[in-house]
Chains A and B, each alone.
Chain A
Amino acid sequence: MCMTCGCGNSTETNIMIAKPGEINPENISLMIEHKHGHEHSHHTHHDHSHSKTVVEMEQDILKSNNMIAERNRGFFEAKKIFALNLVSSPGSGKTSFLEKTISNLKEEIPFYVIEGDQQTFQDAERIEALKTPVIQINTGQGCHLDSDMVHRALKKLNPEEDSVVMIENVGNLVCPALFDLGENSRIVLISVTEGDDKPIKYPDMFQSADICVINKIDLLPYVNFDIEKAKEYAMRVNHHLKFFEVSATTGVGMRTWYDWLVTCRTQ
């Protein structure tokens, strides 16, 4: 069984963190280090007493992820980097949204990108075509990025001070919700080609996000998507959400988002 997502029978998963075209990508094999305790041939001599101890833990289950996330956050803070974690279902337009943003703001803001996908360097190649430094994380069978993968990717990416780091998570509206990466803001994207009830079908993601981007609004005349209803559903889950209605393809609505990004990254 794979460590991250539970599929397959393998007890290891191969996570790859590399630049596009890199010859010897750092290939991290994460073995589950099961301690194989010997089959205790059930006690030959039984003359000693067993002592029982209750250990009070009160510890967060995701403590190790959260600790590394805090370390990433400290790194960002020290270098005055603004870091964003983009989450959505596959196909909502995260990469197109990034491409448009980078193309229009790269003269103004130094961007660095971490791309998360199960397989391929397709997304990293799209970002590299914009002459923007990028690291691809292939999670193999994993369904989300965790803070340690991002930590390793950051070491390779080496983002400069006062830059913006965009982390595009694995396309999945469920699993990435629980894993803090150390970002300043979490952005959830939905597109109008999806159902407008997505926020209440997948509430965890909307609850953990700070920003909600509704993408592909140029397609609104052709689809049965009620934008006000979608926003109301999202607000029911998390009334602190800030919305942007955009089309990453035509560029409509993107200006407001750029203004937000330019202002927030220096705050």
Chain B
Amino acid sequence: MHELSIVMSIVDTVEKEREKQQADTVESIELDIGMISGVEMEAFYFAWEAGVRKTKLEKTRLKINRPPAKAKCTECGQTFVATSSFDACPECENPFCDILSGKELRIKRMTVIKN
């Protein structure tokens, strides 16, 4: 369960930024977690609750975008939305495609509150 490492990375980054902003609380965090990023969302939420316990992020709202997986066929060049990292091309059925997106793991933005 590497999701906790991911959560702790977010907590560290966000806490540092909150201090830099001299803010008191973090109202919300917006994340991009790609559909094939290797993060299991159930495990992520479980880890999040544990990871923010007794921190200033305990009440922070999470907004999570799930960018879809997009792939490009190496034969016909067709770009398509994939459900896994090994989908065949829907156009020519070539099984060997390149992944273009869907592996995002990004902190987009955060909203902080100064009292």
Interface SS of chain B: mixed
| Residue numbers in A under 8 Å from B43 (CB-CB) | 6
Other-chain contact of B47, A6, A232, A239 (Cβ < 8 Å): A6
Structural contact, B115 and A34, CB atoms closer than 8 A: no
Instruction: Count contacts on B: residues with CB < 8 A to the other chain.
Output: 50
Count of inter-chain pairs, beta carbons less than 8 A: 140
Structural contact, A59 and B107, CB atoms closer than 8 A: yes
Structural contact, B2 and A50, CB atoms closer than 8 A: no
A5 contacts the other chain (CB 8 A) = yes
A63 contacts the other chain (CB 8 A) = yes
Q: A34-B55, A59-B13, A61-B9 are in contact. Are A54 and B109 (CB under 8 A)?
A: yes
Q: A51-B113, A237-B85 are in contact. Are A62 and B105 (CB under 8 A)?
A: yes
Other-chain contact of A60, B21, B36, B106 (Cβ < 8 Å): B106
A53 contacts the other chain (CB 8 A) = yes
Structural contact, A236 and B95, CB atoms closer than 8 A: yes
Structural contact, B8 and A32, CB atoms closer than 8 A: yes
Structural contact, A1 and B50, CB atoms closer than 8 A: yes
A212 contacts the other chain (CB 8 A) = no
**Which residues from 223 to 267 on chain A have a C-beta closer than 8 Å to any C-beta of chain B?**
232-233, 235-239
B88 contacts the other chain (CB 8 A) = yes
Among A120-128, A130-138, A188-196, A200-208, which stretch is in contact with chain B? A200-208
A48 contacts the other chain (CB 8 A) = yes
Interface readout for A1-23 with B: 1 if CB under 8 Å, 0 if not? 11111110000000000000000
> Which among A3, A57, A61, A233 has the highest number of chain B CB atoms within 10 Å?
A61
Structural contact, B108 and A57, CB atoms closer than 8 A: yes
**Which residues from 1 to 17 on chain B have a C-beta closer than 8 Å to any C-beta of chain A?**
1-6, 8-10, 12-13, 15, 17
Structural contact, B12 and A146, CB atoms closer than 8 A: no
Structural contact, A62 and B9, CB atoms closer than 8 A: yes
B80 contacts the other chain (CB 8 A) = no
Residue of B nearest to A236 (CB): B86
Other-chain contact of B46, A5, A6, A177, A233 (Cβ < 8 Å): A6
Residue of A nearest to B56 (CB): A37
Alpha-carbon distance between A53 and B13 when the two chains are bound, in angstroms: 17
Structural contact, B15 and A236, CB atoms closer than 8 A: no
Interface readout for A170-212 with B: 1 if CB under 8 Å, 0 if not? 0000110111000000000000000000011001100100000
Residue numbers of A with Cβ under 8 A of B are 1-7, 32, 34-37, 43, 48, 50-65, 143-144, 146, 174-175, 177-179, 199-200, 203-204, 207, 232-233, 235-239
**Contact sample, A vs B, 10 pairs, CB 8 Å cutoff:** A3-B8, A34-B54, A50-B114, A53-B23, A58-B108, A62-B9, A174-B2, A178-B37, A235-B95, A239-B74
Q: 4 tightest A-B contacts by CB?
A: A175-B2, A239-B96, A236-B86, A6-B1
Residue numbers of B with Cβ under 8 A of A are 1-6, 8-10, 12-13, 15, 17, 21, 23, 27, 31, 36-38, 43, 46-47, 50-51, 53-56, 74, 84-86, 88, 95-99, 105-115
